[in-house]
Structure 1
């Protein structure tokens, strides 16, 4: 499974009838400026540009469609929820007055 960011849409004026309803999106692993090359993933969730998604590739992607196995090599299977607030840093413990020199 790959964590990626949707960086754009891919428009096709014609497509195979075997491909179900959905959209082709350009994604990049590791974020919009991530280390990998952009690739195209099929989306049935309605993901948008800038959204972080989970992508599967290969036979796992194609098998999701059941017996038909359309020619889909990458499939968006989830949307990563943004954190609503940053994770708080752990507080620094107060020095123990019974142990001189602690915290210096």
Structure 2
């Protein structure tokens, strides 16, 4: 699981059929790397989020309709202690 901050939205005029409602967001990970993650929670710019990748991200979607999504935002970080 990764932690990061949403830095911007990614607009795409063409998408693979079968991608569910949601948004592509650019996230800066702790440590400085960046990635594009799919968001179904409605996260906003500046929000701290939790991200899963690979088979864990894909398993959130129904198996027969699994879209080609490699990174998925699964939570919003309220605080860390």
Structure 1 counterpart of 2:15:
15
Aligned residues, how many?
A: 80
Matched residue of 2:50: which SS? strand
Greater C-alpha Rg? 1
**Distance of 1:43 and 1:8 partners within structure 2:** 12
Moved over 3 A (4+): none
Unaligned runs of 5+ in 2: none
Matched residue of 1:70: which SS? coil
Unaligned runs of 5+ in 1: 88-104
RMSD: 1.4
**Distance of 2:57 and 2:28 partners within structure 1:** 17
Structure 1 counterpart of 2:2:
2
Specify which structure has the higher proportion of strand.
2
Structure 2 counterpart of 1:56:
52
**Distance of 2:47 and 2:79 partners within structure 1:** 9
